[in-house]
Amino acid sequence: MNPPCSSKPPPPGDPSAISGHSAISESLAAPLRPEPIRDEAELDEFLTRPGARLTETIRTVPSPLLVLGAGGKMGPTLAVLARRAAEATGHSLEVIAVSRFTDQRARQWLEDRGVRTIAADLLDRSAVARLPDAANVIYLVGRKFGTQGNPSLSWALNTLVPANIAERYAGARIVALSTGNVYPFVPVASDGAAEATPLTPLGEYANAAVARERVFEHFSHRNGTRIALIRLNYAVELRYGVLVDIARRIRAGEPVDLTNGWFNCIWQGDANELILRALPLASAPAEAWNLTGPAKLEVRGLAQQFSALLDRPARFTGTPSDTALLSNPAKLCGELGEPRTPLDTILRWTAHWVRNGGRLLDKPTHFEVRDGKY
């Protein structure tokens, strides 16, 4: 068991900006690749490079492994990570990625890397019925942005699709993504919301995300379906994420909003690896697990670090609140270990990427939002 990965934040404005992360992570892992990451081919290769512990888990997974909602920001690299982990151990695991594939490039990218794809709208029960049987399912379907304009679609996606999938795969192990947004804001001086914290968030998106969990829980109770609910806080890679959002503003000379002054995040490669390694944690009744990096990160201090790395002045707006959306990942860290990629390495990669005009997805996280409206 690893030690619990949580601690108190440093004083506001402390240039280290980090509570509890870098020292722990640096001691766990030297940088896993030479710096910097120069282009998308290198980024994708690194994001889909399996570690030894993932390979151990994947060799126990019978074929096929189903990844649902695979066409978004995390699914493509998660599916290929699973595929490469199977290849590394000589395990003939078919990885099947299911999505509507609104983005056809994601579909082609997956096919080119040996992942079978199926285009399906998972709101459609007959389409769900036609999906292949599987004993292991990774569930990534979700809808956050646009909820304000069309809340009924977000509620439908976050309730009807879980019901369709939980019924169709009642005998499977399901790792279902949730979000740290299911928690209310907690004091920044606290250790962050733990899994037992009451789910009383603000806004329709977050409440629909609570509903997503509750629907999965309901079917787990009813049918004995083994489910792990993964409450993820901010995956980051170089094309999107909170760190890119901050770095891009510094680079552009735009002010960084401090209103939401603290957050947690995790390198997407580590998040995907831990999501796959969570398959053995699936249980009936369903259980929730926080997934994020073990540090509380301060927006102001990170902006100052990017200012130094990018050689641009940092400008700020807003006054930090004494509460924030913070999760405590000690429970999952205790079972699976901590994320491998050190924060200061991610910061250097991000600064290099932004300075050199690396491609961005143009999907801002809106981490500054405090009224729950997305």
Ligand X SMILES: NC(=O)c1ccc[n+]([C@@H]2O[C@H](COP(=O)([O-])OP(=O)(O)OC[C@H]3O[C@@H](n4cnc5c(N)ncnc54)[C@H](OP(=O)(O)O)[C@@H]3O)[C@@H](O)[C@H]2O)c1
What is the binding site for ligand X (CB under 6 A)? 69, 71-75, 99-102, 121-123, 140-143, 157, 161, 177, 179, 232, 234-235
Q: How far is the CB of 366 from ligand X (least distance, A)?
A: 11
Residue 196: partners with Cβ closer than 8 Å, 6 or more residues away: none
Euclidean distance between CA atoms 165 and 177, whole angstroms: 13
| DSSP code for 205 | H
Q: How far is the CB of 115 from ligand X (least distance, A)?
A: 14
**Which tokens belong to 56?**
């151990």
**Residue number, 199 or 314, with CB nearest to ligand X:** 199
**Residue number, 69 or 307, with CB nearest to ligand X:** 69
**Residue number, 128 or 256, with CB nearest to ligand X:** 128
Residue 325: partners with Cβ closer than 8 Å, 6 or more residues away: 180, 181, 183, 185, 186, 233, 260, 263
Q: How far is the CB of 92 from ligand X (least distance, A)?
A: 26
**Residue number, 134 or 314, with CB nearest to ligand X:** 134
**Residue number, 14 or 124, with CB nearest to ligand X:** 124
The H-assigned helical ranges of 230-336 are 242-252, 268-277, 299-310, 330-336
**Residue number, 247 or 314, with CB nearest to ligand X:** 247
How would you class 91 by CB atoms within 10 Å of its CB: exposed for 0-12, middle for 13-18, buried for 19 or more? middle
Q: How many residues does the chain have?
A: 374
Euclidean distance between CA atoms 284 and 289, whole angstroms: 14
Whose tokens are 């369709």? That residue is 164
Euclidean distance between CA atoms 318 and 321, whole angstroms: 9
How far from 333 is each of 115, 289, 320, 330, 366, CA to CA, in Å?
Answer: 29, 10, 28, 5, 27
Q: How far is the CB of 330 from ligand X (least distance, A)?
A: 18
Q: How many helices (H) and strands (E) does the chain have?
A: 13, 16
Q: How far is the CB of 299 from ligand X (least distance, A)?
A: 16
Q: How far is the CB of 105 from ligand X (least distance, A)?
A: 11
Name the pairing type of β-strands 226-232 and 173-179: parallel
Q: How far is the CB of 89 from ligand X (least distance, A)?
A: 26
**Residue number, 143 or 251, with CB nearest to ligand X:** 143
- The residue nearest ligand X at its CB is 72
Q: How far is the CB of 76 from ligand X (least distance, A)?
A: 9
Euclidean distance between CA atoms 198 and 221, whole angstroms: 20
Using alpha carbons, select from 304, 182, 236, 259 the residue that is nearest to residue 73: 236
Q: How far is the CB of 204 from ligand X (least distance, A)?
A: 14
**Residue number, 93 or 266, with CB nearest to ligand X:** 266
**Residue number, 22 or 179, with CB nearest to ligand X:** 179
Q: With left for phi above 0 and alpha for psi between -120 and 50, is residue 188 left, alpha or beta?
A: alpha
